[in-house]
């Protein structure tokens, strides 16, 4: 049987993790491993982005790829969360749990999303090169393009690249292209998107700003009246501070309209953030003025993706594209990595029966996704009071909870459930620790 010819759309955390494991089946000769193409819309990898955490099953999976050391060497340095008011007074402070037993808001591993995606990509490139050296096809990376047409028959998926206009055929297509997945739109139909993408009534902007002396190694979380939030978080790798501003508002349709414009709507997205946050208080003036100059502004709605099935024929969705749980869940990275691992595992067990592989993948993932998408009761409204009085009460509650010693119990039972996600054994090779330096050098030269 010829090796599977697979197109993965999206070179994010999920896409390149999947590609790596597809090439790591123990005992499979290199020439039998799949021929993989990864198609990424962005012109290249960016190492910045928002702060995300890696927990439980996610850590087990990066360890299997030999990436744990490299990931730990790239962390942001966040040591915990502080709740602050408009004068900068700290109402509560919760440190990161380093035992891996509690799901505290700051996890043991905090890293920028772009850096984690870059490490996963560099790792997959390295694995691919070693497979190619042994006679396999490995991975072909295509940056700066996307698909504008997908059609499938019983045996193959026919696609067209939007820019190059190339028409290609693959045995399988994996949509790992994030919350606003184009693969999902093209295959499941744009008209049903409103039902599949469940808005949480929150809209947010993420970007980095220059660090100043008063910025700490804590995440500082400020609640303003009008259901507005600002978070400032350390990024010790780039010596910057990352900002996350979000507003909870289900009535103002402009918040959604500007999100739909994507990168083209940058200025209107900044304008609406300016309008909402100009009188928010605390460090809003600084954050807004830096927002105008930042090189990495990103705005989107905060939503969850819910589908009846993760595949349609030979096209399957992975990570945020298929089951985004939202940044409020703290489970996005775990789902992306666990999904990639389970999909590669299922395909390695049924290389000639994608229908069976996809069924097995869904059976593994569905319960994990269901748990991940169950948000802390009342989220996101509970953390976004309407009035100044409501903000004061929230700060007081957080203060009293900390004083009572309850956080240990709360974060044992109510935090993100990543520590309880099982990681099955599919017989993949476990790789030794690996450093990206050599691969980075060869990319830059
Ligand atoms: C502010 C914020 C904070 C978060 N915090 C956490 C956290 O603490 N813990 C956690 O576990 N998760 C967190 N998440 C979620 C986490 O970042 C995502 O769940 C995770 O990155 C999903 O990985 P993915 O590979 O599925 O998608 P993505 O990381 O979105 O990657 C998708 C890739 O596809 C590319 N792409 C998009 N469209 C196309 C196209 N049409 N064609 C080709 N390529 C395309 C994109 O450029 C990108 O490279 C957070 C998210 C946000 C926004």
The structure tokens listed for 135 are 């006679």
Residue bearing the CA closest to ligand 1, atom 5:
52
Q: Which residues pair with 246 in a beta bridge?
A: 204, 229
Distance 287 CA to ligand 1 centre (A): 23
User: Residue length, the chain?
Assistant: 445
Pocket test for ligand 1, best of 323, 336, 343, 372 (most atoms within 8 A of CB): 336
Ligand 1 within 6 A of CB of 4:
no
Q: Are 152 and 315 in contact (CB under 8 A)?
A: yes
Ligand 1 within 6 A of CB of 17:
no
164: CB partners within 8 A, 6+ apart: 145
Phi, psi of 324 (to 5 degrees): -55, 135
What are the chain's domains? 5-78+111-195+304-376+423-444 (3.50.50.60)
The sign of the dihedral angle between the CA atoms of 346, 350, 353, 356 is negative
Distance 440 CA to ligand 1 centre (A): 22
Distance 336 CA to ligand 1 centre (A): 8
Distance 63 CA to ligand 1 centre (A): 20
Closest residue by Cα to residue 104 from 84, 83, 69, 79: 79
Ligand 1 atom showing the smallest separation from residue 320 Cα? 26
Phi, psi of 63 (to 5 degrees): -65, -40
Residue bearing the CA closest to ligand 1, atom 30:
178
Ligand 1 within 6 A of CB of 330:
yes
Ligand 1 within 6 A of CB of 42:
yes
In tens digits, the chain (445 residues) has pLDDT values of: 789 999 999 999 999 999 999 999 988 999 999 999 999 999 988 777 788 989 889 999 999 999 999 999 999 999 999 999 999 999 999 888 777 677 788 888 999 999 999 999 999 999 999 999 999 999 999 999 999 999 999 999 999 999 999 999 999 999 999 999 999 999 999 999 999 999 999 999 999 999 999 999 999 999 999 999 999 999 998 899 999 999 999 899 999 999 988 888 999 999 999 999 999 999 999 999 999 999 999 999 999 999 999 999 999 999 999 999 999 888 899 999 999 999 999 999 999 999 999 999 999 999 999 999 998 777 788 889 999 999 999 999 989 988 887 666 677 666 666 677 889 999 999 899 998 886 655 554 4
Ligand 1 within 6 A of CB of 319:
yes
Radius of gyration of the chain (CA): 22
């Amino acid at each position: 049987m010829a090796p599977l010819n697979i197109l993965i759309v999206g070179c994010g955390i999920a896409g390149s993790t999947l590609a790596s494991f597809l090439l790591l089946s123990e005992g499979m000769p290199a020439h039998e491993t799949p021929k993989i193409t990864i198609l990424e819309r962005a012109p290249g990898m960016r190492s910045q982005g928002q702060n995300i955490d890696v927990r439980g099953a996610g850590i087990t999976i990066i360890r299997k790829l030999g990436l744990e050391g490299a990931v730990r060497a790239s962390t942001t340095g966040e040591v915990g969360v502080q709740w602050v008011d408009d004068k900068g007074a700290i109402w509560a402070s919760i440190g990161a749990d380093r035992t891996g037993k509690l799901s505290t808001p700051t996890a043991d591993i905090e890293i920028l999303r772009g850096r984690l995606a870059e490490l996963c990509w560099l790792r997959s490139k390295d694995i691919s090169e070693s497979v190619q050296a042994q006679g396999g096809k490995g991975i072909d990376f295509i940056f700066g393009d996307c698909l504008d047409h997908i059609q499938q028959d019983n045996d193959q998926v026919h696609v067209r690249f939007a820019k190059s206009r190339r028409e290609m055929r693959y045995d399988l297509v994996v949509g790992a292209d994030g919350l606003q997945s184009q693969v999902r739109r093209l295959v499941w139909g744009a008209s049903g998107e409103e039902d599949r993408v469940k808005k949480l009534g929150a809209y947010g902007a993420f970007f980095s700003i220059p660090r100043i002396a008063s910025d700490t190694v804590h995440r500082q979380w400020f609640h303003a009246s009008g259901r507005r939030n600002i978070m400032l978080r350390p990024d010790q790798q780039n010596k910057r501070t990352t900002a996350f501003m979000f507003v909870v508002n289900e009535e103002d349709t402009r918040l959604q309209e500007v999100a739909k414009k994507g990168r083209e709507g940058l200025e209107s997205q900044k304008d609406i953030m300016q309008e909402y946050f100009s009188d928010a208080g605390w460090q809003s003036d600084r954050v807004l003025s830096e927002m105008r100059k930042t090189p990495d502004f990103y705005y989107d709605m905060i939503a969850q993706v819910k589908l009846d099935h993760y595949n349609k024929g030979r096209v399957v969705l992975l990570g945020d594209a298929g089951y985004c749980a939202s940044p409020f869940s703290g489970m996005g990275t775990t789902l992306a990595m666990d999904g990639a691992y389970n999909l590669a595992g299922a395909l390695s067990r049924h290389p000639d029966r994608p229908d069976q592989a996809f069924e097995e993948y869904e059976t593994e993932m569905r319960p994990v996704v269901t748990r991940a998408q169950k948000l802390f009761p009342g989220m996101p409204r509970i953390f976004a009071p309407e009035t100044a009085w409501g903000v004061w009460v929230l700060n007081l509650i957080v203060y009293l909870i900390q004083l009572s010693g309850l956080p240990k119990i709360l974060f044992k039972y109510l935090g993100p459930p990543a520590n309880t996600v099982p990681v099955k054994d599919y017989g993949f090779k476990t790789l030794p620790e690996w450093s990206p330096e050599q691969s980075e050098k060869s990319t830059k030269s």
